[in-house]
């Protein structure tokens, strides 16, 4: 089974648990988040689908995104600007964090094993283990 088929299967199962019918429209929403541009808002996902002549209602997109988040297939991002963005999660085994440029709004992904280790150590010192973390750095370009 290809990766794409496997992901689709996970989506089919999530829909089943929610007692929702599998439709090609719902699948397009999932694949749009998974394989399209990252860190997009619902509206952007909607218009990108419309450009491909896939017409889904706003309500269906919102509903489907919620289910995808619930079943850990995609990630919901909140960078505190009142806009909710989405990115694939199922295809991203390596956890990454985000850097947000306050001047351009650009979102940069980064991975740091060092930070991960330090966080684990701090949690452990307090008698805990980390199950999830959200790490966001707000940055601006260094002017030379």
Binding site for Zn ion (CB under 5 A): 87, 109
Q: Which is nearer to Zn ion, 18 or 76 (CB)?
A: 76
CB neighbour list of residue 37: distance below 8 Å, 6 or more residues apart: 44, 48
Q: Which is nearer to Zn ion, 11 or 86 (CB)?
A: 86
CB neighbour list of residue 94: distance below 8 Å, 6 or more residues apart: 111
Nearest-approach distance from CB 97 to Zn ion, in angstroms: 8
Nearest-approach distance from CB 143 to Zn ion, in angstroms: 26
Nearest-approach distance from CB 95 to Zn ion, in angstroms: 10
6-42 burial, b if ≥16 CB within 10 A, otherwise e? ebbeebeebbeeeeeeeeeebbbbbbbbbebeebbeb
Q: Which is nearer to Zn ion, 15 or 74 (CB)?
A: 74
Q: Which is nearer to Zn ion, 29 or 88 (CB)?
A: 88
Nearest-approach distance from CB 17 to Zn ion, in angstroms: 26
């Amino acid at each position: 089974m290809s990766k794409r088929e496997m992901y689709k299967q996970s989506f089919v199962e999530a829909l089943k648990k929610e007692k929702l019918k599998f439709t090609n429209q719902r699948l397009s929403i999932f694949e749009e988040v998974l394989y399209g541009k990252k860190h997009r808002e619902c509206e952007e996902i909607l218009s990108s689908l419309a450009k491909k002549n896939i017409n889904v209602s706003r309500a269906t997109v919102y509903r489907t995104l919620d289910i995808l988040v619930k079943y850990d297939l995609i990630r919901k991002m909140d960078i505190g600007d009142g806009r909710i963005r989405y990115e694939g999660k199922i295809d991203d085994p390596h956890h990454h964090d985000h850097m947000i440029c306050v001047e351009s709004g650009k979102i940069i992904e980064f991975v740091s094993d060092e930070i991960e280790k330090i966080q684990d150590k701090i949690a452990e010192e307090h008698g805990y283990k980390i199950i999830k973390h959200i790490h966001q750095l707000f940055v601006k370009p260094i002017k030379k």
